Amino acid sequence: MIVVRHAWACVLAVFVCALAACGRRTDSPGARPAATPVRMAVGGQNQLLYLPITLARELGYYKDAGLDVDIQDFGGGSKALESLLGGSADVVSGFYDHTIQMAAEGRELVAFVAMLRFPGLVLTTSPSHAADIASIADLRGRIVGVTAAGSSTQMILTYLLGRHGVPPASVSIAAIGAAATAIAAVEHGRVDAAMMAEPAFTMVQRRNPQVRVLADLRRADGVRDAFGTDSYMASVLYSTRAWTTAHADTARRLARAIARTLDWMQGHTPAEIAAKMPPLFRGNDEALYVEALGHAMPMYSPDGRMSAEAAGAVRSLLADSLPAVRDAPIDVTATFTNDFLR
């Protein structure tokens, strides 16, 4: 009898310990695994070119995907790229052309979700030179602003100059940033013209309606006029091939969070989208921000997917101005993937 009682005591002890262990489990139905950290570098977060990365955070889509995204803001896309290559960022929110430039140097970068289908930039004169600069051909001998030296804005400017017969060396390039510094440089005449993004351009145009638009890359017709194509890959998320291979699940969750954001944008008005953005991004004039967003809406990708045609258009543009790209045997299909969107 004593033996039986002892056996039952042992069974009971095991059962109690098992219950206690269950209480400590982290994968119980109500528990949530720790979010995966991601360091994302961006060259000018407050530009509408990169709005989806901030909007995804505000909508809670990173959190839904189990991601803890740390957005690190830089003065331009070239600085964000340096952060990735230096190892202080995992992913860049920047222009696709950096993957082509790096491929020409033998570095493997891969874009894995697209936010824009057009560059979304405007080449505009400053108010003080609107009367004497009528076209891109008139930029010879002028000072033109770009976000940063070596940035995508400079690459696109170089292409536009060449296409209009202006030797790039005949134009002085000034790094003016992307927001308040760019506005000040244009309005105070420190540059004769500039490559600008939204909402900075709409602010300048509203206060100085005399400015002259030399190229409008926010819409399909402007892209067609400038590049002779309807497809152009612009703002994307990209990383090294080593990172996307080692962190395929994280890349997949990031891509889907951005695609989900782009889909949400398609069903909402500029005012509704603006209302979700942080007050710091909207600034003191929310109506102006909504107006700028309205101008920019055509540039956003509806689904985040990329094409070889759009990638080829970027390579052709860069090949016109960069001998390293022109002479390199680059397989553009190796510089992007839609696999993480499936």
**CA-to-CA distance for 237 and 201, rounded, in angstroms?**
24
CB atoms inside a 10 Å sphere around CB 51? 27
Domain boundaries, the chain: 36-119+232-341, 122-216
Contact indicator for 324, 87 with CB cutoff of 8 Å: no
Reference 237, options 247, 222, 229, 223; nearest CA is: 247
**What is residue 76's predicted lDDT score, i.e. its pLDDT?**
81
Q: Which residue has the higher pLDDT, 227 or 110?
A: 110
**Same topology between domain 36-119+232-341 and domain 122-216:** yes
3-state SS, one letter per residue, for 98-152 = HHHHHHHCCCCEEEEEECECCCCCEEEECHHHCCCCCCHHHHCCCEEEECCCCCH
CATH topology of domain 122-216: D-Maltodextrin-Binding Protein; domain 2 (3.40.190)
**What is residue 322's predicted lDDT score, i.e. its pLDDT?**
86
- Tell me the average pLDDT across 319-323: 86
**CA-to-CA distance for 193 and 136, rounded, in angstroms?**
10
The stretches of the chain forming alpha helices (DSSP H) are 2-23, 51-58, 61-64, 77-86, 97-104, 152-163, 180-187, 200-207, 220-227, 241-246, 248-266, 270-276, 279-282, 286-296, 308-321, 323-327
**What is residue 44's predicted lDDT score, i.e. its pLDDT?**
87
Tokens of 199: 């909402």
70-128 pLDDT, tens digit per residue, is 999 987 888 899 999 999 999 999 999 999 999 999 999 999 999 999 999 999 999 99
pTM of the model: 0.84
**What is residue 32's predicted lDDT score, i.e. its pLDDT?**
61
State yes or no: pLDDT of 31 exceeds 60.
Answer: no
Alpha carbon separation from 22 to 8, 25, 34, 221, 251 (Å, rounded): 21, 5, 19, 62, 32
What CATH class does 36-119+232-341 carry? alpha beta
Q: What is the mean pLDDT of the chain?
A: 89
- Tell me the average pLDDT across 23-52: 76
Distance of CA 168 to the CA centre of its chain: 26
State yes or no: pLDDT of 28 exceeds 70.
Answer: no
190-219 pLDDT, tens digit per residue, is 999 999 999 999 999 999 999 999 999 999
149-172 pLDDT, tens digit per residue, is 888 899 899 999 999 999 999 999
